[in-house]
Structure 1
Amino acid sequence: MSSGTFVDRIDPFAKRSLKKKSKKSQGSSRYRNSQDVELQQLPLLKVESSSLEQEELFIRKLRQCCVSFDFMDPVSDLKGKEIKRAALNDLSAYITHGRGVLTEPVYPEIIRMISVNLFRTLPPSENPDFDPEEDDPTLEASWPHLQLVYEVFLRFLESQDFQTAIGKKVIDQKFVLQLLELFDSEDPRERDFLKTVLHRIYGKFLGLRAFIRKQINNIFLRFIYETEHFNGVGELLEILGSIINGFALPLKSEHKQFLVKVLLPLHKVKCLSLYHAQLAYCVVQFLEKDASLTEPVVKGLLKFWPKTCSQKEVMFLGEIEEILDVIEPPQFVKIQEPLFRQIAKCVSSPHFQVTIYYMHVAERALYFWNNEYAMSLIEDNNSVIMPIMFPALYRISKEHWNQTIVALVYNVLKTFMEMNSKLFDELTASYKAERQKEKKREREREELWKRLHDLEISRTNNQTDNSGEIPQQSSLSQENNIAPSSFATPPLGNSSNNYMSK
């Protein structure tokens, strides 16, 4: 039996897939220009020279690289593809090593070449059932040229000769908007370049920063509440992580709103695993900037806590531990009760994901007691936390089927006993007394049902004696040959009055 079949058997709600895992496919929206242009090999650019002739040659090569090719046909236009590849490499080296080569006339030519090559309508996924967690992405067929275009762009932005005052004339809001749309590319190689490019633009163009943040905000909101599909969420969050790290103190209201209204709701999307590490980093960055945000963040996580997905629960627990690593004691006091009520539920969780990738929810929750700083916080507030955690821990120590969990629980109980032995004894006695009360209530409930059952039999017998006939059974009883007295819940009518009169 395969591991996948075994998982399906123990988790009937697990996503099933009957399709075979497809090989990495290639796709492209790039085709040869309608005009049949024959590229001619141009001379190499000379790094030592910055003459007018070199500038003209530079521009000619940039325009030559505006010609697109069809990479879906690997044998077509081989000569033209090679000429363009060599030209892009030459441009990259010239910008990197040349001095004074980025003159003002060159800026619009570079941006035009970049726009023509990069900006295109991304094709829909070739696989209508595409699952980014399971399936391989469709790679961009024209990547041999696209990669070089991105490298030219980066060399341009990182050049010592780059002048922001000139650059802002050609790198505007429209350009940035088109760049952000490319983050939905399925090809992770392209998204990785885009991440670096956008970060450079954010660092150099102060006037575009607010616009970039706003557009990322819009992408996330559309992703959360409308599409639940956007390939570049992880990369955009990675950029935001460094942006948040540079926020000045005190934090602006708009930044706090972004945390509460956008970053926290990102936790509820089904494909959280694709970007959770970057999301958790952003959240922790905010808390390191402003400790007062701890309470709304933790309560927000508890609000979006997964109910049926053990994989997501493990991720949430990992994020909570990251938050505990940076939390300040006064903030911990504010969130300890709701937080540990949730942890107690996780410790009691029956979920067990049979896979090497995800840990048992209860096991992950119990690992909090291996964290030294978290342990110090728990010890300082043991009078509040122990009564919340004790019932679940004690019950598991006696009843849980998994010996690994039982061993971890014993260690936690031992730690609690060492922290506050008096309270531990009180909680033990209280728990046992409560269990005795529960057992007594169960016995009383069983006795009551037995008495009601006997009462129904007595009522039936009395009716038989008075009439001399056996009362006709209901059609349901006749069909199933079941006496009315055998039902679990006897009808309560005059019988209760008879019982009371006796």
Structure 2
Amino acid sequence: MLKQILSKLPRKSPKSDSLDSAGSDSGSNTPNLGNGFQCTIGGSSLTSKLNVVKRVSSAVFPSSIAAGAEAVEPHLSFKEVSNPQKHNLFISKLNLCCEFIDSSDPVKQDLKRETLIELVDFVSSGSAKFSEPAISALCKMCAMNLFRVFPPKYRSNFTGGETDDEEPLFDPAWSHLQIVYDLLVRFISYSSLDIKVAKKHVDHSFIVKLLDLFDSEDPRERDCLKTILHRIYGKFMVHRPFIRKAVSNIIYRFVFETERHNGISELLEIFGSVISGFALPLKEEHKIFLWRALIPLHKPKSVGIYHQQLTYCVVQFIDKDPKLASTVIKGLLKYWPVTNSQKELMFLSELEEVLEMTSMDEFQKVMVPLFRRIRCCLNSSHYQVAERAHLLWNNEHILNLIAHNRQVILPLVFPAIERNTQNHWNQAVLNLTLNVKKMFSDMDEELVLACQCKLEEEDIRSSAAAEKRRLTWERLETAAGVQPVACNFLAPIKPATCPVVC
């Protein structure tokens, strides 16, 4: 009886061993033709190799991407698949490009390059849909290809980047890296990109590793990174405070530890536009960035590499808040070079730009220490430094500030002017000194005469004091009976004998 009941129950059909049977419909006969071809009879449609769908292997796609997703064979072209399958093909190609290919295999390298170019063209066409699996796969691919440790730097000097005497070093893998950077730029700039989803993958860790690449010695790579970081800062508002903090840390390490970094100028160029977009009034965080990061950047020897960008950032801060002018001038005086004339020329140029934006109140706070330093520059034996310091008087705004405060400034600089007129070796500097003296005479002739009389009195007192010192030394030498230097040898002193018997 039991056997009769069991015999009437429907029997379960045996499982197919085909790899493609898992995706077939249970109500249709779908014979596997082998080699990737599959024919569907029940729906009167034929599916060729161009529409083959395979299960995603965990070795190709990470488990974080939706398990059981389907991907098209990555070696197919986007033109060879239907529109619904292009998204899966996009992810397949991204994961294919995650594989590291050694330079000894040019065939695979060319295949990877062609795949990357396909991806760039696909994103450029606007057909890409950046779902979370696609964003995750793209960020993973960029990380695998771009994030790397640079080899040790073998440059002979320690200037922290290329100088005028050094040729930039170009990365031999740039033809490959350039396409990856191009894809990343287009991804960040994509108009329909969901920022809420993208920020999960373009996270703090991704940004830190991206910033580390700014130390690349290839200027082409740094230029691409500059564009990418600027787009990330503009699009991912939630990451802005972290980016500012991370860049500050790079500057601190450069200024106070290594004094070596290749991308300081590019980072400052980005922050030049960032500072111009700061809202008013400035936050305390932004002022701290000026005090602790930008002003100390005047200290390193290699300031000439990034001085133009640094000056622009400083001027942007003063443009936002004119009260910061006195703070900036104090910072320049703190780090003013003493023995480096080329660096001193840069400081004088920056000082002129800062003074052009300085109000009368801020100028009066710093004019005494400022013109003590300018006085030294006027007397510099390096003619370019002396010449550049004299040219400050050709600026109308600076001349106006000096004219209104001439009672304080002229007594400070007049001794340097007189000293130049008497014994400076360069004729161009001598002519500029006479012009400055004439400007002061036109402003206030009585003050010039008073300063001249005071200087003459000081010279007389100085000469008298020098003569008094000379006579004093002569009397001391006579009283001590000083012998000629050749005979002035002391006899060795014998140690005293100890009367106590030990």
Same fold (TM over 0.5): yes
1:50 is displaced (CA, Å) by 7.8
Higher relative contact order (CA 8 A, sep 6+): 1
Q: CA deviation at 1:195?
A: 1.1
Q: 1:385 to 1:46 in 2, by over 3 A?
A: farther
Distance in 2 (CA, whole Å) between partners of 1:219 and 1:41 is 40
The one of 457, 463, 478 aligned to 1:433: 457
Q: Give the alignment of 1:103-502 within 5 angstroms.
A: 103-127=131-155, 129=157, 131=159, 132=161, 133=163, 134-351=165-382, 360-452=384-476, 480-481=486-487
Paired letter, 1:408: L
Measure how far apart 1:294 and its partner are.
Answer: 1.9
After superposition, give the CA deviation of every residue in 1:304-358 in whole Å (9 maximum; x if it has no partner): 1112111211111111111012111221111111111111111112236xxxxxx
- Superposed displacement of residue 451, structure 1: 4.8
Q: 2:200 aligns to what SS in structure 1?
A: helix
Q: Whole-Å Cα distance in 2 between the matches of residues 126 and 69 of structure 1?
A: 27
Counterpart residue identity of residue 118, structure 1: L
The CA distance in 2 between the partners of 1:446 and 1:318, in whole Å, is 44
Deviations 1:34-89 (A, max 9, x none): x9xxxx99444359x98122222222222232233445xxxx33332222222222
Aligned-residue offset at 1:289: 1.2
Quick one: which amino acid aligns to residue 399 of structure 1?
A: N
TM-score (norm 1): 0.77
5 Å-filtered alignment, 1:74-89, equals 76-89=104-117
Q: Radius of gyration: which is bigger?
A: 2
Identity among equivalent pairs (%):
44
Unpaired runs of 5+ residues, structure 1, are 1-34, 353-359, 461-472, 485-502
**Gap change, CA 1:129 and 1:269, over 3 Å in 2:** closer
| CA contact 2:122–2:128 (8 Å) conserved in 1 | no
Give the whole-Å Cα distance in 1 for the aligned partners of 2:454 and 2:439. 19
Secondary structure of the residue aligned to 2:130 is coil
**3-state DSSP of counterpart to 2:439:** helix
Alignment match, 2:57:
none
What is the letter of the counterpart of residue 124 of structure 1? P
Distance of 1:455 and 1:201 partners within structure 2: 82
TM-score (norm. length: structure 2): 0.77
Q: Distance in 2 between matches of 1:137 and 1:340?
A: 40
Q: What's 2:97 paired with?
A: 65
CA RMSD across the alignment? 2.6
Aligned equivalents of 2:120, 2:174: Cα separation in 1: 16
1:419 to partner: Cα distance: 1.2
Q: Is the contact made by 1:150 and 1:193 (CA closer than 8 Å) also made in structure 2?
A: yes
- Paired residues of 1:70 and 1:142 also in contact (CA < 8 A): no
Q: What's the counterpart of residue 488 of structure 1?
A: none
Give me the whole-angstrom Cα distance separating, in 2, the residues matched to 1:335 and 1:451.
Answer: 46
Deviations 1:112-145 (A, max 9, x none): 1111111112221244656432433432111001
CA displacement at 1:405 relative to structure 2: 1.1
For 1:276 and 1:249, how far apart are their aligned partners in 2? Answer: 26
**CA distance, structure 2, for counterparts of residue 152 and residue 268 of structure 1:** 38
Distance across 1 between alignment mates of 2:418 and 2:102: 67
Cα offset for 1:152?
A: 0.6
Kindly indicate whether the alpha-carbon contact (under 8 Å) linking 1:267 and 1:304 is maintained by their aligned counterparts in 2: yes
Instruction: Tell me what 1:92 maps to.
Output: 120
Q: How many residues align?
A: 416
Q: Could you tell me which residue of structure 1 aligns to residue 3 of structure 2?
A: none
Are residues 299 and 126 of structure 1, via their aligned partners in 2, closer, same or farther at CA, if it must alter by over 3 Å?
closer
Residues 367 and 409, structure 2, Cα contact 8 Å, conserved in 1: yes
Superposed CA deviations along residues 206-241 of structure 1, whole A, max 9, x for unmatched, are 111111111111111122222222221111111121
- C-alpha contact (below 8 Å) 1:99/1:161 kept by paired residues: no
Runs of at least 5 residues in structure 2 that lack an aligned partner in the other structure? 1-59, 61-72, 491-502
CA contact (8 A) 1:139 1:186 kept: yes
